[in-house]
Structure 1
Amino acid sequence: MQDPIYIQIHNHIKQKIETGQWQLGQRLPSERNLSETFGVSRMTLRQAISTLAEEGILERRPGSGTYVSSQKVQEKMTGITSFTDMMKKQGKEPSSQTITYRLTKPSLSEKEKLQLNSDQNVLRMERIRFADGIPISFEVASIPENLIGDLHKSEITTSLYHAVKHKNKFELNHVEQTIGATTANEQIAKMLDIKKGDPLVLLRQITRLDDYRPFEYVRSQYVAERFEFYFER
């Protein structure tokens, strides 16, 4: 099973950063130059860049270009963040629209975050999350194939945490979360019914089982004007 082209480009760029060929804060070549270098369309190149930006590896600066992200301050939130539970606690009706759902080889970031071997696959799904029918976030979630068990697609895409707790008997007791900021590209803006360049809150979360094995790696982009996080100490 060969990785999609944009994942191959994602991995190549990430490797350049990890080996120091591109430094923290360095501006990347233009999209035109990169697409010519990789021999792909600008649309495919942008998909790879968007994935790296969602992971916090790259940073888009409107009117300036794309840069290797500098180190950011990280703030740990308390508890596991389940979109379904968050919405219900606020008296809103959660729902989801699945954009993509497939088993595939993991990207370098997914292998690292989920501690996978080269021969292991992940379930990667992209969803738009709604509250009372209003789009709140775009989410990319990755789960090791061997942890899915006999869960059905409907269970996974609707309320994953509830399903794994009650059907697979998994306890999700550990979470690592980081929050950053980004802006909506044309594709994300269209899905979330906002304008290109509107501010987004970027949440990256690794959820772990009771034995500390990584269970899920999620990259979520929340519409800043429709959602906010708060912290308790």
Structure 2
Amino acid sequence: MKRIWVRDQLRQLIEDNPSGALIPSERDLSEQFGVSRPTLRAAIEELARDGLLVRHPGRGTFTTARPVSQPLAGLDGSSGFAVPPADGAWLSRVEQFQIAPAGPRLGARLHISPATEVLTVLRLRITDDEPMAIEHIALPAGLVPGITPADFEAGSLYQVLRKRFDVHVATAVQTTEATVTDVNESALLGVPVHAPALLFARTTKDAEARTVEYTRSIYRGDRYRITAQLRFDDSSG
């Protein structure tokens, strides 16, 4: 069928172009491939349903932005994972920055008294000039005296903790589950309301086994991907 052939040609066009690239118009592509515009349009709509193309009325058809990959590598002799940096150049924009008593729920998360002051930060994580994630970060304020919003906007927060405050993060327990974005999250991430997302909740300890961070993050489900290295032995299920 011509539509299948056209779809294969479009797939090759997508692979040959960077993410977010504008592809030629339907008129130009129909002439290039020697097919009718209805046949071409049907192939484009099929690839759009598959998430490979996105159509913007009045602007044209674009290749979909490639997912950002976060690798996880198993540690020898341990049940944990090393966490190399994710793909791309990451920036952050701080939306909220405040210090207040922990309260009972956050105090329990951080294993501190509810009256202990906690720094809470809401930041938007950006890569390839697109918002990728919303992070709600909580740190015991006494661990980071003098820290500023700028410290959360450039580079790695964990590097800041190590170099400026002698806090060496060592281990974390992190859960991951599927969710959808609410109205506020959708506005920050630039996605429709109830868009698919990944919810991460992480409790981090330092080399002295102190709980030093609790972070709750919402990552775009259409752009973020986790890749894990797995090892198997005779006891593997």
TM category (shorter chain) comes to 0.5 to 0.7
**SS of 1:191 mapped into structure 2:** helix
Residue correspondence of structure 1 range 181-196 to structure 2 within 5 A: 181-196=178-193
- 1:161 aligns to 2:165 (yes or no): no
1:98–1:134: structure 2 CA closer, same or farther, 3 Å change rule?
Answer: same
* 1:150 positional shift: 3.5
Report the counterpart of residue 86 of structure 1 in structure 2.
85
1:223–1:107: structure 2 CA closer, same or farther, 3 Å change rule?
Answer: farther
Show CA shifts across 1:152-180 (max 9, x none): 33124433211111122221111111001
Show CA shifts across 1:103-131 (max 9, x none): 01224331111001132011001111011
Indicate if the aligned counterparts of 2:117 and 2:141 stay in contact, CA closer than 8 A: yes
- 1:212 aligns to 2:212 (yes or no): no
Residue correspondence of structure 1 range 129-208 to structure 2 within 5 A: 129-158=125-154, 159-208=156-205
Residue identity (%): 19
* 1:77 positional shift: 6.1
Q: Which ranges in structure 2 are unaligned for 5 or more consecutive residues?
A: 1-78, 231-237
- 1:122 aligns to 2:118 (yes or no): yes
Q: Which ranges in structure 1 are unaligned for 5 or more consecutive residues?
A: 1-75
Indicate if the aligned counterparts of 1:172 and 1:207 stay in contact, CA closer than 8 A: yes
Report the counterpart of residue 33 of structure 2 in structure 1.
none
* 1:204 positional shift: 0.6
**Distance of 1:79 and 1:115 partners within structure 2:** 25
**SS of 1:128 mapped into structure 2:** strand
**Distance of 1:153 and 1:186 partners within structure 2:** 25
Aligned residues: 151
Q: Which runs of 4+ in 1 moved over 6 A?
A: none
AA matched with 2:136: V
AA matched with 1:93: A
User: Which structure dedicates a bigger proportion of its chain to strand?
Assistant: 2
1:145–1:199: structure 2 CA closer, same or farther, 3 Å change rule?
Answer: same
* 1:79 positional shift: 3.1
* 1:184 positional shift: 0.7
CA RMSD of superposed structures (Å): 1.7
**Distance of 2:226 and 2:193 partners within structure 1:** 22
**Distance of 1:105 and 1:111 partners within structure 2:** 9
Report the counterpart of residue 96 of structure 1 in structure 2.
92
Residue correspondence of structure 1 range 22-61 to structure 2 within 5 A: none
Residue correspondence of structure 1 range 6-25 to structure 2 within 5 A: none
Indicate if the aligned counterparts of 2:91 and 2:153 stay in contact, CA closer than 8 A: no
**Distance of 1:175 and 1:95 partners within structure 2:** 23
What TM-score, normalized to structure 2?
Answer: 0.60
**Distance of 1:156 and 1:196 partners within structure 2:** 27
The structure whose Rg is larger is: 2
**Distance of 2:224 and 2:213 partners within structure 1:** 22
**SS of 1:167 mapped into structure 2:** helix
**SS of 1:229 mapped into structure 2:** strand
